[in-house]
Structure formats: structure tokens, C-alpha cells
Amino acid sequence: MTSLLLDNPKIGEEALELIWENTNDAIFLIGQDGEILYANPTFTDLLGWTIEEMKGLIPPPALHTMTKEQHEALLNTLREGENINYSFTKRMCKDGEILDILATYRQINKGEVLAVGMYKDFTEQMEIQRQLEESEVCYRKLVEFLPEAIIVQNNHHIVFANPAGVKFLGQDSLKYIIGRSIWEFIDAENKESIQHQLTDMVVKSDGAKPTPIIERLVGFENKDFFAEITAIPMVYNAESVMQILFKDITARKLYEEELENLAYHDSLTGIRNRLSFNELMGRSILSASEKGEKLALLYMDLDKFKEVNDTLGHDVGDELLIQFANRLKNNVRGNSIIGRIGSDEFLILLKDIKDSQSVKQVALRLQKTLQQTYQIKGHFINTTASIGISIFPKDGMSSEILINHADQVLYLAKETRNQFKFYN
């Protein structure tokens, strides 16, 4: 293109004239004394002044708040042969409107011409930027005092966090987390799945309130906690980002677990209560039916418990029940279900048994461990247990029938105590 213009001066002049007359940018020539000598039509369209109106005005009125000293410093920079590239400044129109301008000056220093200047109107873009910055300032002020941890992530890198978010990640300053991944500060067994769910939450966002996910996380100092996590899309620094809200719900989760534990477990011994045991037994029967497996139900009664309770007191009696339950847990397989259904009545459901002989071995082991001396608050207590046993499916197909049949033979075992009997 340059070669074509040099070889054809007429074409070159015509091309330059087309650019001068039709460009969207204001182009002007600056004299050695700072006066604007010539300007293209866009200059007048943009600022409102004609060349004739600015003739002899130094500095030119469009320079807004620039003083004569500042204007002279600008001219000296150009006189020394330096260009001024892409400088954001403000210029005043003839009607008093102030424009945001991207200004460029190229030194020429030939004859009466010191430099050529170009103004690009950036008012609209700068207004958008100001609105974004104002929006960002409002956003920061809004989230600064929220108790929830808010972390803004762009391409898996942190770009902002409120004070609660900084603290949530175990740091004391925002500078320590900017540019890093959330997962450098917290951990989870399924963090890839969590990140996928959060991304999915943002992608599928349609303006409706997202449904939080609840996950168990590991924070700084390897402290486990539960968090309710929500992600929403937003614009931050003119970029589409993901805002993640972490709400520590450990106390609430523990309270819910405590309520669930109270609902399904015996408050004294910690083993299953009647409601929970019956529910799990029902499920076990259904599963055993499908797999063709056998189950054994052991109905147990602590011999002479009333006598211990009456003579040594309820505190000793309660501790005896606790130790009794612990011995049961320590002497059956992990998949067995143990429950307390009465004052001194316990049930054990043995899963996937081979035959009655294998159940007999368990009963003998229990009998042996349960008759060992208990030491409670300075008292040495010797007691035993009576056991009634029913087998699924031989002795019944439902929880109710199996418990009833085991109860029947328990009654027979208690006649002599420290015995176990099978339903027949």
C-alpha cells in the first residue's frame, strides 16, 4: 500500500484526502506555538469549534482545565521528538459538554507544524466503565458486611472475596487468595463433582433462585464442616464470572443429626430404638427374600435387672444397660442390627446366616461375654441374659411374626435363666 502511494502521488493525495474528510476520529495539525493550524471535519463535528474560531487561541479552548504551563509542557515533549500515545484525557466542546477522549500526538517538527494530533471519542465507553466501577463499588459495599462467605471466581481463579470469604478460606487478607483456586484452601472427597454442580447451576440459571447443594468440606487446619453452597452468574470487571456463596451450616447439620439420632436411637445406650429397628428389619427381610438369604432374630432379656435397679439405684442400672449394649455391639458382625425395645429387652438381627448351628455359636459367644462380671461405681455385678431365637423364613415371613415367635421361646428360656432357645 505504501509503495502504491509513493509510486502514484495523485492516488496518494486522493487517499489521504478521503481519510482526512471521512474518518470518525478528529485529526488536527498543531503549530510550533501550540495553535491548532488545520483540522478535519470530524474535529468540528466532535468539539463544535471551527478552525477560524480557534485561530490565535493558545492554549485552545477545547483543552478544558489544562493550564498554560501544562500546555507548554505538552508542547516541549513533542519538541523533544517524543510521541504521546493513547492518553486518556478530557476535552470540552463549544457548548460546554465534557468528553472523554483518547488522545494521540505524533511529533512532526517540520516548518510551522509541530505535531499531528488525533482525538477518539471514548465518552460512551468510559461511561459504561464508570457505571461498571460504580456497580462494583456498590457490590463490594453490599457484600462486605454479609456473614456469608462470598467468593467470585473467573475460570476457576478467585478475583474477589468479601471479608467473610477471606476468613472462610483461612486467610487474613484478600491478597493471599486472589488469582488462586478455591480448592487450594478447602478440600472435599468429591470436589470435582461439586465444581461440576456449581458450573451446571450457573449454566442452567434462568433468573430463578438456585437450589443450594450441601456438602461436607475440609477447611484450614483440617477442620471438617458442612456448607450450603450456591452459585450464580454475574458480571464483574466487565467479565462474566461465577459468584459462589458458602454458608457454614455445621451447627444446623449437627442439630439435625442429633434430632435424627434421637428419633431413631435409644437415648441411653445409643443403639437403635424400637421404631428404627422395626424399619431396618423390614428392609432386611425384603432384601433377604430377594436374595434367598436367611436371617436370625435374637430376643434378649437381662436377667434380674429389676433386682439390680431396686437395690443399687437407677444410675447403676443405667450404666449396666450401657455396658450390656456395648458387649452386644462388640460380639456380633458389623452388618448386624441391635436395638433396645424395652427397659431391659434387646433385639439382634443377624443377616445372611448359614444355618441354625452358626446362630447357636453366636448365642454361645454372647452368653459367655454377658455373664462376665460388671464393675460399676465400686459394685461388682454378676448377671446373665436369656435369649429367644427365631429364623427367617422358617419361623415367619414378617417382623411381627418373627418377634412374636422369639418372644415366646424367650419366655421359656427365662424359666431357668442364662439360656437360649430356638423357636420350634
Q: Indicate whether 12 pLDDT > 70.
A: no
Q: Does residue 329 contact residue 382 with C-beta atoms inside 8 Å?
A: no
Task: Say how far apart CA 374 and CA 12 lie, in whole Å.
Answer: 111
Q: Residue 165: what residue type?
A: G
pLDDT confidence of residue 102: 85
CATH 1.20.58.1910 fits 127-252, yes or no: no
Q: What is the three-state SS of the chain? A: CHHHHHHCHHHHHHHHHHHHHHCCCEEEEEECCCCEEEECHHHHHHHCCCHHHHCCCCCCHHHCCCCHHHHHHHHHHHHCCCCEEEEEEEEECCCCCEEEEEEEEEEEEECCEEEEEEEEECHHHHHHHHHHHHHHHHHHHHHHCCCCEEEEEECCEEEEECHHHHHHCCCCCHHHCCCCCHHHCCECCCHHHHHHHHHHHHHCCCCCCCCCEEEEEECHHHCEEEEEEEEEEEEECCEEEEEEEEEECHHHHHHHHHHHHHHHECCCCCCECHHHHHHHHHHHHHHHHHHCCEEEEEEEEECCHHHHHHHHCHHHHHHHHHHHHHHHHCCCCCCCEEEECCCCEEEEEEEEECCHHHHHHHHHHHHHHHCCCEEECCEEECCCEEEEEEEECCCCCCHHHHHHHHHHHHHHHCCCCCCEEECC
Most confident region among 20-24, 220-224, 387-391 by mean pLDDT: 387-391
Residue with the bigger pLDDT between 201 and 336: it is 336
Task: Say how far apart CA 316 and CA 320 lie, in whole Å.
Answer: 6
- Grid cell 482526512 is found at 20
Model pLDDT for residues 179-232, shown as the tens digit of each residue: 998 888 888 888 888 888 888 888 777 666 778 888 888 877 778 888 899 888
Q: Does residue 35 contact residue 48 with C-beta atoms inside 8 Å?
A: no
- In sequence order, the 6+-apart residues with CB closer than 8 A to the CB of 407 are 299, 388
Percentage above 70 pLDDT, the chain: 92
Instruction: State the average pLDDT for the chain.
Output: 87
- Grid cell 458389623 is found at 334
Alpha-carbon Rg for the chain in angstroms: 43
Q: Indicate whether 2 pLDDT > 70.
A: no
Same fold: 127-252 with 265-422:
no
pLDDT confidence of residue 7: 52
How confident is the model over 128-136, as a mean pLDDT? 63
Query: Which fold does the domain 2-121 belong to in CATH?
Result: Beta-Lactamase (3.30.450)
Report the side by side order of strands in the sheet with 385-392.
337-340, 345-353, 294-302, 385-392, 420-422
- Grid cell 484525557 is found at 89
Model pLDDT for residues 28-37, shown as the tens digit of each residue: 999 999 999 9
Model pLDDT for residues 67-99, shown as the tens digit of each residue: 888 889 989 999 999 998 878 888 889 998 888
pLDDT confidence of residue 142: 67
Model pLDDT for residues 147-167, shown as the tens digit of each residue: 888 899 888 899 989 888 888
Q: Indicate whether 45 pLDDT > 60.
A: yes
Most confident region among 65-74, 121-130, 364-373 by mean pLDDT: 364-373
Model pLDDT for residues 288-333, shown as the tens digit of each residue: 999 999 999 999 999 999 999 999 999 999 999 999 999 999 999 8
Q: List the CATH code of the domain at 265-422.
A: 3.30.70.270
Percentage above 90 pLDDT, the chain: 44
Nearest to 160, CA basis, from 178, 139, 183: 178
pLDDT confidence of residue 56: 85
pTM over 0.85: no
The structural domains of the chain, with segments of one domain joined by +, span 2-121, 127-252, 265-422
